Amino acid sequence: MPTTDIQIIAILPEEIKSFGIGSRVYTPTTTHLIEETPTLFLNKMYKKRGKNKKEMDQIIKYTLQISKNMPYIIDTSHVFFGFKYRNAVYDRERRGFANVSFVEKIENSEIILTTGESIATLNTFDTLNTNKNNAKTMLYRQQLIASYDWAETLDQIRNTVMRETGPRLTEVRQSLLD
């Protein structure tokens, strides 16, 4: 099963014989068939990162002022938005997810990925575009938080090193210039 260390492009529902609904997880090099629904797979990714879906939904609700079709924010390179997958077998579980980092553009009701593939959906262009823009906003927010934390940590390290290894002034002498 892929972890968040591997870049995940999309998670689509797929029927698994003698099991029911599973997930096809697409990465840049391979695909994996998992015996979990796409939503359950993303919720488990949340738990692996030590996050809580309800807390993240509150952050999204506060930031974007939305209450439906919320993106899944796993980390700085995994922000997924949902859509109705066109090729789903069951009506009940047709929700797929695309990583907004790999979405090149939206054309009509298709998601065009940077890898060249396209995903056919049942959503309208406006819905897909809104969901993509919301996910992109949260991706940039997550990257900003990570870079701010990184810069703050780097400043603390630099200040500590300067304090511990910096030159010590013991005496200041002044000489006259000729």
| Domain range annotation of the chain | 10-163
What mean pLDDT, rounded, does the chain reach?
85
Range 67-94 average pLDDT: 85
Q: Give the global pTM.
A: 0.79
What is residue 4's predicted lDDT score, i.e. its pLDDT?
47
Cβ atoms of 142 and 79 within 8 Å: the answer is: yes
Q: pLDDT tens for residues 19-64?
A: 888 999 999 999 999 999 999 999 999 999 888 889 999 999 998 8
Q: What is the DSSP letter of 54?
A: H
Nearest to 117 by CA among 37, 24, 22, 16: 24
Which of 72, 45, 38 is closest to 57 using CA atoms?
72
